[in-house]
Structures are given as C-alpha cells and as structure tokens.
Amino acid sequence: MIEFTLIHDGKDWIAENPQIRVAASTLEELDRCIKASLIREGAIQPGEVKKVFMAFDNATIPQWIRQYAPHYFNRVLKVTLALPDGTITET
C-alpha cells in the first residue's frame, strides 16, 4: 500500500508523501494526478494493482470537528495499470 497525507488548502486538494506531491481542485482530478505520478515515478508497473491510502491531516481543521474527521476524510484509491493486452494482476 502506498500512503499519502491529504489536506485541503482552501483552493486545492493536496496529497503528498516523501516522494510525490500532487494538487488538484477536485478529488476526482487528484486521483488522476496520483495515478499519473505513480506511473511516472515507476511506483506501479504494467499489470499491477496498487492501493493508495490517503490519511487526512486533522491538524488542518478546527479542533471541534476533528471527532468526525476520520470517517469523512480518509480515502483508499485502487490504481491499476493494465498490460498492453489488457490484463492486470492483483497485488
């Protein structure tokens, strides 16, 4: 599993870890940027399926709402990169 910290800076969603930092205005766009970055960095190979865990950084939201944050903000993304023949293998 590949892990990212997730925040919102008031304009964009930002996912980062020590190797990759991506930003996008929507979560759907962020997912696409993460997949493209993983491919570019060689973190996913053709035929693989990788899970990406995004843990929301609760320090970026007010204290009074943090009790609700884990349920609403943590995300898991499944990234697949098919082989040229269209096949994939679960990892």
The domain spanning residue 43 has which CATH number?
3.30.160
Residue type, 53: F
Is the pTM above the cut of 0.85? no
Q: Are 39 and 52 in contact (CB under 8 A)?
A: no
Range of the domain at 49: 2-90
pLDDT tens string 23-77:
999 999 999 999 999 999 988 888 888 999 999 887 887 888 777 765 567 888 8
φ, ψ of residue 20 in degrees (nearest 5): -135, 140
Domain count, the chain: 1
User: When comparing pLDDT for 22 and 63, which is higher?
Assistant: 22
Q: Which residues touch 81 (CB under 8 Å, ≥6 apart)?
A: 35, 39, 44, 45, 46, 47, 48, 88
Which comes out higher in pLDDT, residue 30 or 88? 30
pLDDT-based confidence at 86, cuts 50/70/90?
low
Helix (H) / strand (E) containing 52: strand 48-56
